[in-house]
Chain A
């Protein structure tokens, strides 16, 4: 008996020793200040100072790029040989489907191995990657004439799009100030796409208000028999369900996601405006949404519009745009666009924003070569080529959007350019930057699913429960 106790104590002791030895290993991770110029950046800048800018200044280097599977990435890949020829830099790239893309990026950045040198990102991911110092502050390169081509013209980017990728690292502070963490490849605004043929056949006009949208959605339910429906929306249990049409409409109703009270972020998802808007959204889904709404991502929602199963799509303008070129879908050529419907009495169109951008790994061992890659693939020449010859809509550069060649391309999409112009000024990141963004918005999507499924007695009850959960999640955030 005594022997057994002794053995157990010894085992327990060994486990403790093992754990404490791990503690010693674990604490040794280096800390880097996110917005402080590091030694490798200084070295690269000093080298550039000696020679001045030239496209072959990093000749012979090799860089690794991580792409998300997306038409924007396909366009870049087509032009990589041209870049390699111009710069003498070798590019090695890999593509990962969107479903697992950010898991891969996160673990790569966390390993601090410097691989990949460049990766695709969105604005929301910057709120997670910039505070721990995973990504390079690009302002240091943009402002340096020895590092940046004289014709790069940073002011040519739409300020709202470029500003979405700037942030001062303070939770609760809006985007638009602070270091430039990434540069945009293209972006999405959220508008209403509709099928002209179906609308004409049913004697309907595209809706301008949310009430009209509900009315049309209800009328178009099963417009062509079982399986057809009025309005395609995203609905999967994922943050991406909240950020397109839902968040744009949320803001158009005058609702906010957070307010700062006593140095803390306080969720406002159960405010009067937020509940009224969510109630409308739930009604839209129930009266004319897809029966499989809760599993829908943008792929399915876009495909249903293209297949003529859905009469409307309230999502990214580019999602419906991809369905419209000849041969792209069954309903190609029949798709038209109007601005996001507004609540009664509102005139100002606001839209949330998504931008696919290129960012640099702060631990990259080839920063000069990586910066040349970034410049080339966000520069004027490439952007124009990609927008005219590949599927890069919407271009983030004003000169490209106004270029006659692109105007000619966009003319084929009925109403697209007009809606773009109506929406662009009100297009920005509508969320409050905070590091738990993905957790709070995923919870938001799950609650929306539960409200639609009738789990709560009312929308207010559901949003009250959500508010409590979000407040608990963000309680550790101190706002300066």
Chain B
């Protein structure tokens, strides 16, 4: 009997899993869990405050349900901000993608000139967008600006740039392109340089035209890189704040009042944080939906490009 008992104890001894071994999967997951909580907590706070009348002007606040959200949807300024956000993202990302692709293709041909250009083109990326905007403000100044002097040669005087509602969006777009097009160029250029050489050599031997090679080989194989550039630029341009704020603070009038600037003004200039958060969260929803779609597309395109 005693021998039998001893055997059972021994078996238990060997089958008992130490605590650390048991906890290992959870411990491995812990950093990721903490990071997830760290990311989600401010986000959860933002959702919560968007349901309150929190204001920097008052020491107390109360739960108001979806009032801030309904007020936002009923506000004409909100729909104007949505339109400005969309237009800005479309103009800047569209132009940057086209220019980025074109310039990257030109730079892909090795020469001394392109080597220098590759270095020079990175300069705007090294400058903070706010500083870049201030530089552009100086360049477009009607009395000392170099661009004003340049336009004077063609008989154009006092071009209004950011001061007119008609040209403010154009000016902001130009600055955005100046700052961010190099990012697209670099990404696409890296893509071009990583393309396999053999398909292009075959196409050359078969007498394929430049347009044919570009349409059937370069473009499909470059698509994954272009999608990455598109995702990054579209997300950032939808959120754009610094260039517009430094340029006109959203003016003239309401010309450049996008969702970020409207949210910032409502929260920090007018101190109504509860009312400002729906603008920011709405922007987040839009970006989430669009980027999710684009990431799905990117995975598909990447699969096609790799021939799987």
Chain A residues with CB under 8 Å of chain B are 15, 18-19, 22-23, 26-27, 29-32, 103, 106-107, 109-110, 112, 128, 131-133, 226-228, 236-238, 290-295, 304, 307, 309, 435-436, 438-439, 442, 446-447, 449-450, 452-453, 455
Task: Determine the residue in chain A with the shortest Cβ distance to B137.
Answer: A295
Nearest Cβ on chain B to A465's Cβ, whole angstroms: 11
Task: Determine the residue in chain B with the shortest Cβ distance to A100.
Answer: B268
Report the separation of the CA atoms of residues A290 and B253 in the bound assembly, to the nearest whole angstrom: 17
Nearest Cβ on chain A to B76's Cβ, whole angstroms: 10
Q: Which of B60-68, B90-98, B103-111, B219-227 contacts its partner?
A: B60-68
Report the separation of the CA atoms of residues A106 and B268 in the bound assembly, to the nearest whole angstrom: 8
- Contact of A237 with B57 at beta-carbon distance under 8 Å, contacts A293-B163, A295-B162 already known: no
- Contact of A106 with B51 at beta-carbon distance under 8 Å, contacts A237-B250, A294-B163 already known: no
Please name all residues of chain B whose beta carbon is closer than 8 Å to the beta carbon of A447 when the two chains form the complex. Answer: 253
- List the 10 closest A-B pairs by CB distance, nearest first: A237-B251, A450-B253, A227-B143, A439-B270, A294-B252, A291-B158, A449-B252, A22-B48, A453-B165, A294-B163
Nearest Cβ on chain B to A436's Cβ, whole angstroms: 7
Nearest Cβ on chain A to B74's Cβ, whole angstroms: 11
B52 at the interface (CB under 8 A from A): yes
Contact of B249 among A112, A238, A304, A455 (CB under 8 A): A238
Nearest Cβ on chain B to A32's Cβ, whole angstroms: 7
Contact of B57 among A291, A292, A435 (CB under 8 A): A435
Nearest Cβ on chain A to B174's Cβ, whole angstroms: 16
Please name all residues of chain A whose beta carbon is closer than 8 Å to the beta carbon of B166 when the two chains form the complex. Answer: 453
A-B contact count (CB 8 A): 119
Residues of B145-187 at the interface with A, using a CB-CB cut-off of 8 Å, are 148, 152, 157-158, 160-166
Q: Is the CB of A29 within 8 A of B57?
A: no
Please name all residues of chain B whose beta carbon is closer than 8 Å to the beta carbon of A455 when the two chains form the complex. Answer: 165, 253
Q: Is the CB of A23 within 8 A of B252?
A: no
Task: Determine the residue in chain A with the shortest Cβ distance to B164.
Answer: A453
Nearest Cβ on chain A to B169's Cβ, whole angstroms: 13
Among A26, A109, A128: residue with most chain B CB under 10 A: A26
- Contact of A29 with B59 at beta-carbon distance under 8 Å, contacts A19-B47, A291-B160, A449-B251 already known: yes
Please name all residues of chain A whose beta carbon is closer than 8 Å to the beta carbon of B248 when the two chains form the complex. Answer: 236-237, 294-295
Report the separation of the CA atoms of residues A110 and B268 in the bound assembly, to the nearest whole angstrom: 12
Q: Is the CB of B59 within 8 A of A23?
A: no
Q: Is the CB of A446 within 8 A of B254?
A: yes
Residues of B14-35 at the interface with A, using a CB-CB cut-off of 8 Å, are none
Q: Is the CB of A23 within 8 A of B63?
A: yes
- Contact of A446 with B253 at beta-carbon distance under 8 Å, contacts A22-B44, A26-B48, A131-B57 already known: yes
Report the separation of the CA atoms of residues A235 and B67 in the bound assembly, to the nearest whole angstrom: 34
Q: Is the CB of A291 within 8 A of B163?
A: yes
Please name all residues of chain B whose beta carbon is closer than 8 Å to the beta carbon of A442 when the two chains form the complex. Answer: 265, 269-270
Report the separation of the CA atoms of residues A304 and B265 in the bound assembly, to the nearest whole angstrom: 29
B142 at the interface (CB under 8 A from A): yes
Report the separation of the CA atoms of residues A18 and B163 in the bound assembly, to the nearest whole angstrom: 47
Q: Is the CB of A292 within 8 A of B142?
A: yes
Task: Determine the residue in chain B with the shortest Cβ distance to A442.
Answer: B269
Please name all residues of chain B whose beta carbon is closer than 8 Å to the beta carbon of A107 when the two chains form the complex. Answer: 56
Please name all residues of chain A whose beta carbon is closer than 8 Å to the beta carbon of B47 when the two chains form the complex. Answer: 19
Q: Is the CB of B142 within 8 A of A19?
A: no
Report the separation of the CA atoms of residues A103 and B264 in the bound assembly, to the nearest whole angstrom: 11
Q: Is the CB of A29 within 8 A of B269?
A: no
Nearest Cβ on chain B to A37's Cβ, whole angstroms: 17
B301 at the interface (CB under 8 A from A): no
Contact of A29 among B45, B48, B61, B265 (CB under 8 A): B61
What are 29 A-B pairs at a CB distance below 8 A?
A: A15-B44, A19-B44, A19-B47, A19-B48, A26-B48, A26-B52, A29-B59, A103-B268, A106-B271, A128-B56, A128-B57, A131-B58, A227-B158, A236-B251, A237-B252, A237-B253, A291-B158, A291-B160, A292-B160, A294-B163, A294-B164, A294-B248, A294-B251, A295-B162, A307-B143, A438-B271, A442-B270, A447-B253, A450-B252
Please name all residues of chain B whose beta carbon is closer than 8 Å to the beta carbon of A292 when the two chains form the complex. Answer: 141-142, 160-163
Task: Determine the residue in chain B with the shortest Cβ distance to A439.
Answer: B270
Q: Is the CB of B61 within 8 A of A453?
A: no
Please name all residues of chain B whose beta carbon is closer than 8 Å to the beta carbon of A228 when the two chains form the complex. Answer: 143
Please name all residues of chain B whose beta carbon is closer than 8 Å to the beta carbon of A439 when the two chains form the complex. Answer: 269-270
Task: Determine the residue in chain B with the shortest Cβ distance to A227.
Answer: B143
Q: Is the CB of A295 within 8 A of B57?
A: no
Q: Is the CB of B269 within 8 A of A19?
A: no
Q: Is the CB of B59 within 8 A of A30?
A: yes
Please name all residues of chain B whose beta carbon is closer than 8 Å to the beta carbon of A236 when the two chains form the complex. Answer: 248-249, 251
Among B54, B63, B252, B268: residue with most chain A CB under 10 A: B252
Report the separation of the CA atoms of residues A292 and B142 in the bound assembly, to the nearest whole angstrom: 7
